[in-house]
Amino acid sequence: ETSQSEDKHYLVDFYADWCGPCRSAAPIYAQMSKEWDTSQITFVKINASKVNVTKDGAGPVRCFPTLKLYNPQGKILKVVEGFQQKELIAAMEAAGIRKSEGKKKD
């Protein structure tokens, strides 16, 4: 659930430690979190093998990784099963989320 006072989207990565594709996608997801405007979007990772995501209200997670883009009111805008970077970027752009102006330093 998101805060009503915060006008940010959320991109949530539901992953599992034992998932090979999740481990492969992790550095790409981390890089994306540095490239997008953090005043508009928050990147979150949830280890779904340790949290009952269905019970917690995230809806079904049928495979790993599953990424869900939420609007500021908590509505799911896009669900991507498997790590499909182009599909995620298209959904973020369609939601009006911008890349950050300058590249952040580590």
Catalytic residue positions? Answer: 19, 22
Which residues contact residue 75 at a Cβ distance below 8 angstroms, ignoring those fewer than 6 apart? none
Phi first, then psi: what are they for 63, rounded to 5°?
-150, 165
Helix (H, G, I), strand (E, B) or coil at 17: coil
The type of residue at 44 is V
| C-alpha to C-alpha distance for 9 and 95, rounded to whole angstroms | 9
Q: What one-character DSSP code corresponds to residue 26?
A: H
Q: State which amino acid sits at residue 91.
A: A
